Structure 1
Amino acid sequence: MSDLNQPREAMEFDVLVVGAGPAGLTAAIKLKQLNPELAVCVVEKGSEVGAHTLSGAVLEPRALKELFPDVDPGLIPLATPVAEDKFIFLLDDAKSIAMPTPPQMHNEGNYIVSLGNVVRWLGQQAEELGVEIYPGFAAAELLVEGGRVVGVATGDVGIGKDGEPTDNYQRGMELRATYTVFAEGCRGSLSKQLMGQFKLRENCDPQTYGIGIKELWEVKPEKFRKGLTVHSIGWPLKSDTYGGSFLYHFGENMVAVGFVVGLDYSNPYLSPFQEFQRYKTHPAIAPTFEGAKRISYGARAINEGGFQSLPKLTFPGGVLIGCAAGTLNVPKIKGTHTAMKSAMVAAEAIAEAFAGDKPDEVTAYATKLQESWVWSELHQVRNIRPAFAKFGLYGGLINAALETYLFKGKAPWTFKNHADHDHLKKASECQPIDYPKPDGKLTFDRLSSVFLSNTNHEENQPAHLKLLDPAKAISVNWDLYRSPETRYCPAGVYEIVGADEGKPQLQINAQNCVHCKTCDIKDPTQNINWVVPEGAGGPNYPGGM
């Protein structure tokens, strides 16, 4: 039997990047552009580059053009120039009104893309420059020595559910570097540890989040309007719940449709997945999908805190970039361009560090980011999202108009953000929501949806969803909130069994997990801790998602 405590093999690099998303790959590319001699490695927990990448997505190509001035973004597979923007208010389940498109959502010059295809393309560019990319390697542990991050360790493979090594056991590997760049995306497991260990959130607001749920459809040619983007607010969400939708026509007869719900909602009976299914039935939306075929499904948490929720970005031995730091611009519904720019700025600071005395902490990154267009862009829209939490839908819309047209982002105040997990009301204070049964044509259940995400985990492994206090699953979540995790999870991971017999128990179907991180965010006592499963586990989103 293999020994769990045997020494790990180690590899040494100049720079290690954790996460092969837009930010991580951009950082690697920029480092090699600036200094081709640097040894740069990228590790990715997905089975391949792009396997775990999910977004709307409309790409503002500003950062991409800075990274590759001679590249036409339209050459990226499926990239479709935006031809028309629409913005609608869904008043109820039958009525809607067209509204002026907010300036932040004007998409002239932007591209509808599959973000998975964008990162696959970036991965090719990185490898051509000599970057080493290792997909299927899940960064599971921080390596900290003398108060300094010196790299990460990948997870062991072949540990059974009983915690003992199986015949397939392989010890993880240490990946060591002078500097480690954390680009795990929203709510990264190691990024969360870093924020606690190095107190990176001491001088900022709590991060606030949304959950984005997405489907990819092939529609009839007569329903397809190439380059059209449609965004909506309103129904089916009540006015006290932040959220909205996107519907993008791209490629050939492809439509990406998605729904975002702010995770500061209060009713524990609300199901973001079910709200998404209801949304598709609206007469302003449903005709697009007549005779269409659903191809894929996925879900992912997104940062919504913006400027005032940005943590300290540097610590001894490393930096946070992109959505690991929280650079998404919520009013634009875009984060790829800001993530990529933050990565470029970090790469510049790290390259300068190598050219100098290699300080323990690359503080120049934070200074450079504050001098970049990312900082001014996020500062300008800092009050728009928190105003919806403060004033509700209608007050939030009024504030957005004032901020945009009157104050132009220079209001003499900054609204505060809040933690999402403490916003749930008790189940006894709320009304259950009666969601209609799926029809299997336009609306679907969660398990058939998860099937389309190609999610797969090695079954004989410890659950990567850890309850810090298992008793709270019943004494708190069930008794007080009627187990909201069974509704906010978009993949059917959490299930209450035995309730009819008066003996409720929480069953965790970890094999269904699509790695959205919602449970880690929304659990009312922060009792669920999401850690990485074995490398290559999770969804495998196809090109187009």
Structure 2
Amino acid sequence: MTPEDLLTTYGPRESMEYDVVVVGAGPGGLATAIRLKQLAAEAGREVSVCVLEKGSEPGAHILSGAIMDPRALSELFPDWQEKGAPLKQAVTRDEFLFLDETGAKSTPAFFLPDCFNNHGNYIASLGAVTRWLSAQAEALGVEIFPGFAADEVLYDDAGAVKGVATGNLGLGRDGEPTPEFQLGMELLAKYTIFAEGSRGHLGRRLIERYALDAGRDPQAYGIGLKELWQADPDRHQPGLVVHTAGWPLDSDTYGGSFLYHAEDGKITVGFVVGLDYANPYLSPFEEFQRFKTHPAIRKHLEGGKRIGYGARSITAGGLLSLPKLVFPGGALVGCEAGTLNASRIKGSHAAIKTGMLAAEAAFAALGEGRAQDELTAYPDAFEKSWLHAELRQSKNFKQWFKKGRTLATLMTGIEQWLLPKLGIRNPPWTIGHDKPDHACLEPAAKHTKIAYPKPDGVLSFDRLSSVFLSSTIHDEHQPSHLKLKDASIPVEVNLKEYAGPEARYCPAAVYEFVGEEGNERLQINFANCVHCKTCDIKDPKQNIVWVAPQGGGGPNYAGM
């Protein structure tokens, strides 16, 4: 049955009305809800707010390094320390290493740009911070509905957003209703704030419908892979932060790593690869596994035990790729829009700040009796904020790296070390780009196959054992949430021309080509999906579309 047929047969859907509906219980969405309730309490008014979260609980799908800049959190909760926010491990020391295959060169502290200076920041589990924010929101009266995926944007007769509908439950793999079928619910609002994170599936539709990216550079993405380790106590150095560039990636491929010595004897280690890479034989997952065997990295991990794994796309285009933030009836906040500062590898402070600004604009509009119009006060306030100034300074960061690591390293030093010392925070030049990430992939005939070493089970691992550590669960009887626009393209185009890159760029063994040579087919193991969205971004023909699975499915990250 089509969605329209289901509505005709089982409808109409039940509905609930709120002043504001927020899609996504991450830092940006929760900050939006919290700030609305704070303003309502200060003004002695009632504002009804609900937050939808597709994960099994707030924080279940949250993945980040993470080093957190507390600036925005301090604006939201000046007393966050007294309230017990889980930011306990302050950064004590920064290292930045340039790696070759066997050695490492350290950047002297004096020459380290401000973007890599983490003094005053905290090593944290962003999932734990999200769960704490969720508790603060509920204490203020926010209604949070975990396990409910927003599946559809609802529009009024004038074309403005009027809310969202949750996905239907109890469909079989063939799309037909089972005896457990339940129609989704409509959540209607005067304003709807979208905070789904990087490459949100509803945000992507909104950007296209309202041409929010018109006149902007194409958005740029990366994939971030992360592991959580219980460290050997003799090797643990609480507060140490290590970033690297170079090996194992070649000089034309954007990427780098992070390794943070967190509290309680934990180490988080991760690897980022820009999704504008050209070689279809490259596997971000395998590059990460290879990276951990470098002498400068293995010395931190040896004697420890890997206890967590995850992967997530990163929206990294910065200010030049930022879409228009508002449209009739709603707004985009945080990584849904792309406010992450790629040069700092930080986005949580930006998500919280944009959520607060959107909330303040929505609260003012509600007070004036408005609804379903554009919250223009939000982008106006953003352009006057410290966050906009921060993103303006790093506007060229990802663009330089599209021109190669050597030039990018030099220009990052000029823009974020030399110019600030001269009192110049906004580089007087702008470097644009016009090629989306998926168009950067080149035919396999132009490249040599990469021979990756087999995992040793000590420092390097395979995909399936990694997915197991993410606690990913999907009902395998539901329809696949990974849709192909044309079922022939994976074999006839991707396999023949690009050597089947989906089998390598996916960090969760979702895609595999099976069958004898000349008679292959693409098998989609959707139950493995960790919701990273890489396939939706990198597929060379944009043939794979990621949509929300049944609510509550996906990873269940603990301590990440």
Q: What TM-score, normalized by structure 2, do the two folds share?
A: 0.95
Alpha-carbon distance in structure 2 between the residues aligned to 1:269 and 1:401: 31
Could you tell me which residue of structure 1 aligns to residue 393 of structure 2?
380
Pick from 139, 150, 162 the counterpart of residue 162 of structure 2.
150
Matched, 1:19 2:24: yes
Distance 1:71 1:292 in 2: 32
Residues 1:73 and 1:467: Cα distance change in structure 2 (over 3 Å): farther
Q: Please list, as runs of the form range in 1=range in 2, the aligned pairs for 1:331-410 lying within 5 A after superposition.
A: 331-358=343-370, 360-390=373-403, 392-407=404-419, 408-410=424-426
Q: Give the letter aligned to residue 430 of structure 2.
A: T
Counterpart Cα distance in 1 of 2:368 and 2:352: 24
Q: Is the 8 A contact 1:74 1:81 kept in 2?
A: no
Is structure 2 residue 59 aligned with structure 1 residue 43? Answer: no
Inter-partner Cα distance in structure 2 for 1:42 and 1:294: 33
Task: State the alpha-carbon separation in 2 of the partners of residues 540 and 378 from structure 1.
Answer: 31
Deviation of 1:465 after TM superposition, in Å, equals 0.3
Match of 2:196 in 1: 184
Supply the distance in 1 between the matched residues of 2:401 and 2:6 (Cα, whole angstroms). Answer: 50
Q: Residues of 1 paired with 2:186 and 2:459: CA distance? A: 47
Amino acid at match of 1:47: S
Indicate whether 1:495 and 2:503 are aligned: no
Aligned to 1:306: 318
Give the Cα–Cα distance (whole angstroms) in 1 for the partners of residues 536 and 417 of structure 2: 37
- Residue 309 (structure 1) shift: 0.5
Q: Which residue of 2 aligns with 1:507?
A: 523
In structure 1, the residue matched to 2:499 is: 482
1:126-162 per-position Cα deviation (integer Å, ceiling 9, x unaligned): 0000000000000000101120100000000000011
One-letter identity of the residue aligned with 2:53:
E
The aligned counterpart of 1:454 is 471
Mapping of 1:158-173 within 5 angstroms? 158-173=170-185
Give the conservation status (yes or no) of the 8 Å contact 1:154–1:174: yes
* C-alpha contact 1:237 1:275 (8 A) present in aligned 2: yes
Aligned equivalents of 2:261, 2:521: Cα separation in 1: 44
**2:117 is matched by which residue type in structure 1?**
H
Q: CA deviation at 1:78?
A: 6.1
Matched to 2:104, the amino acid is S
Q: State percent identity of aligned pairs.
A: 58
**TM superposition shift of 1:205:** 1.0
Alignment partners' CA distance in 1, 2:436 and 2:268: 30
Kept after mapping to 1: 8 A contact 2:323/2:337: yes
Instruction: Tell me the C-alpha RMSD between the 2 structures.
Output: 1.4
Kindly provide the CA deviation profile for residues 295-329 of structure 1, in whole angstroms up to 9, marking residues without a partner as x.
Answer: 01000000110000110111110000000000000
2:432 is the counterpart of 1:427? no
Q: Does the aligned pair in 1 maintain the 2:256–2:273 contact within 8 Å?
A: yes
Q: CA deviation at 1:409?
A: 4.0
* 1:102 positional shift: 2.4
Q: What residue number does 2:106 align with?
A: 98
Q: Which moved more, 1:151-160 or 1:67-76?
A: 67-76
Alignment match, 1:134: 145
Preserved contact between residue 74 and residue 111 of structure 1 (Cα < 8 Å): no
TM-superposed deviation, 1:491: 0.2
Residues 479-511 of structure 1: per-residue CA shift (max 9 Å, x gap): 10011010000000000011x342011000000
Distance 1:254 1:243 in 2: 24
Cα distance in structure 2, aligned partners of 1:372 and 1:532: 33
What's the counterpart of residue 455 of structure 2? 438
Superposed structure 1 runs of 4+ greater than 4 Å apart: none
What is the alpha-carbon distance in structure 2 between the residues aligned to residue 464 and residue 410 of structure 1? 42
Q: Deviations over 1:42-97 (max 9, x none)?
A: 000000010000000000000000001122289333631111111111122x1111
2:220 matched to 1:208?
yes
**1:7 matched to 2:9:** no
Q: Which consecutive residues of structure 2, in runs of 5 or more, have no partner in the other structure?
A: none
Tell me the secondary structure at the aligned position of residue 439 of structure 2: helix
Specify the alignment match of 1:281 in structure 2.
Answer: 293
In 2, Cα distance between equivalents of 1:479 and 1:74: 57
Change (3 A) 1:503 1:437: same
Task: Give yes or no for contact 1:493–1:512 (8 Å, CA) kept in 2.
Answer: yes
Count the aligned residue pairs. Answer: 541
The residue that corresponds to 1:86 in the other structure is 95
Answer whether contact 2:87 2:122 (CA < 8 A) is retained. no
Match of residue 539, structure 2, among 516, 523, 532: 523
Q: Is the 8 A contact 1:246 1:259 kept in 2?
A: yes
1:371 is displaced (CA, Å) by 0.8
Structure 1 counterpart of 2:494, one-letter code: N
Deviations 1:95-124 (A, max 9, x none): 111113322111111100000000000000
TM-score, structure 1 normalization: 0.97
**3-state secondary structure, aligned to 1:222:** coil
SS at 1:200 equivalent: coil
Question: Within 2, Cα distance between the matches of 1:328 and 1:96?
Answer: 28
Match of 1:32 among 37, 43, 60: 37
In structure 2, the residue matched to 1:226 is 238
- Change in CA separation of 1:501 and 1:243 when aligned onto 2, cut-off 3 Å: closer
Q: CA deviation at 1:286?
A: 0.4
SS of 2:360 mapped into structure 1: helix
Letter in 2 for 1:116: G
Tell me what 2:66 maps to. 57
Q: Give the secondary-structure state (helix, strand or coil) at the position aligned to 1:415.
A: coil
Tell me which moved more, 413-422 or 113-122: 413-422
For residues 435 and 532 of structure 1, what CA distance do their matches in structure 2 show? 33
Distance 1:163 1:277 in 2: 38
**Residues 74 and 331 (structure 1 numbering): CA distance in 2 closer, same or farther, change over 3 Å?**
farther
Q: Which amino acid aligns with 1:289?
A: L
Counterpart for residue 136 of structure 2? 125
Give the 3-state SS of the residue equivalent to 1:86 in structure 2: strand
The question of 1:260 aligning with 2:275 is answered: no
**1:331-364 deviations in Å (ceiling 9; x for gaps):** 1110111111111111111111011141511111
SS at match of 2:212: coil
After TM superposition, give the deviation of residue 167 of structure 1 in Å. Answer: 1.3
- 1:71 partner SS: coil
CA distance in 1, matches of 2:97, 2:418: 23
For 2:426 and 2:48, how far apart are their aligned partners in 1? Answer: 43
**Any residues of structure 2 matched to 1:230-249 within 5 Å, and which?**
230-249=242-261
- Whether contact under 8 Å (1:74, 1:80) holds in the other structure is no
| 1:293 and 2:293 matched | no
SS at match of 1:48: coil
